Structures are given as C-alpha cells and as structure tokens.
Amino acid sequence: MAIFSKTCEYAIRAVFYIAHKTANGGRVGIKDIATGIVSPELYLAKILQDLSRKGLISSYKGPNGGFFIEPTSLSKPLSEIVEAVDGDSLFYGCALGLKQCSEVNPCPLHNDFKAIRDKIHLLLNTTTVGEFNNELMNGLFSLKK
C-alpha cells in the first residue's frame, strides 16, 4: 500500500504542475497537464473538476482557457489537497482501523503512530502548493512516472 491513493497522487502532481506553469499568469489545458505528469487525461479531468469545485484550483472556459492557480492560492498547504481527495484518516485515523481507538481506549500502536501521523500532518501543512515552482521550472524535480 502506498501512502496516498492513485487519485491523490495524480491530484498533487497536477497541482504542482499547474502551479509552476501558471505562476506568472496564463492557463494550462488538461491535455498539457495530463502529458506533463503522465496520467490518464479523462480521469485527471474529473479530479481537477473536483478540486476546482472545492476552490483549491481555478479554471477558465473557452478558447485559451484552462486551469490555473491564483497567486494567493500558491501559499495553500498541500494538506488541503490531500484532505480533499483522501480524507483525513491519514492525519487522525487509527493505524489498525479501530473506530474506538483513542487516548483512553488505545490500540497497541496508538501512541507510536500518533507521532508518525503528526509528522505527516506537519509536513503537509508546511509544504505549500507553490513552494517548488523554481525547482520545477529548472527541471530539478520530476513529476513524471
């Protein structure tokens, strides 16, 4: 099992792609994004529509339309993308899937995994959508399979 669902992997990669492509204005079409991150175009379209509906990215219809990210949205934390797609069980759920697991009724792994979850949460809370734009433009980071 991976940390994120495939849907979430596509979502994060697409958001990074859109961010660095439209940081200086303009829009980027779905075909461009799908090629840029190597993902199934029509499936990705659904994911981006969902993120757009939730206000995490923006879109513009018509000729020269496409997706983009508002400059102010570049500072949003990645945790919002993850939570929108995969929910918050990665941040708050019990590792052993126990609904009743808590401080007063812990599973054996409760304390150790709480520490891990907190680290993941902190990392995604402090990583922003636009923070890798320079490296992505310079080709220092990869978004392709």
CA–CA gap between residue 99 and residue 23 (Å, rounded): 42
Residues 21-50 that bind a second copy (CB under 8 A): none
- Enumerate binding residues for DNA (CB under 7 A): 5-7, 10, 27, 29-31, 39-43, 45-46, 48-49, 52-53, 59-67
User: Per the structure block, which two tokens stand in for 136?
Assistant: 């992505």
Q: Which does 89 bind (CB under 5 to 8 A by kind): DNA, a second copy, none?
A: a second copy
Q: Which does 65 bind (CB under 5 to 8 A by kind): a second copy, DNA, none?
A: DNA
CA–CA gap between residue 52 and residue 69 (Å, rounded): 10
Strands 66-68 and 58-60: antiparallel
Dihedral, 143, 32, 2, 111 alpha carbons, nearest 10 = 80
- Binding region for a second copy (CB under 8 A): 1-6, 8-9, 12-13, 16, 86-87, 89-90, 93, 95-101, 105-110, 112-113, 116, 119-120, 123, 127, 132, 135-136, 141-145
